[in-house]
Amino acid sequence: MLEKLIQVTQSVIFVGGPIGVFAASILEEIIFFIPSPVVPMAAGFFLLSPQMELVEATSRAILYIALPVSLGQTIGSLFPYYIGYFGGRPTVEKWGRLIGLTWKNIEKNRAKIHPGVSR
Instruction: Please give the residue range of the domain that contains residue 45.
Output: 2-85
Determine the residue type at 85: Y
Does any domain span residue 112?
A: no
Does any domain span residue 14?
A: yes
For the chain, the average pLDDT equals 86
* Integer Cα distance of 23 and 69 in angstroms: 9
Of 1-10, 45-54, 78-87, 90-99, least confident by mean pLDDT is: 1-10
Domain count, the chain: 1
* Integer Cα distance of 107 and 99 in angstroms: 17
Does any domain span residue 90?
A: no
pLDDT value for 29: 87
pTM: 0.71
Does any domain span residue 78?
A: yes
In the chain, the percentage of residues whose pLDDT exceeds 90 is 27
Does any domain span residue 23?
A: yes
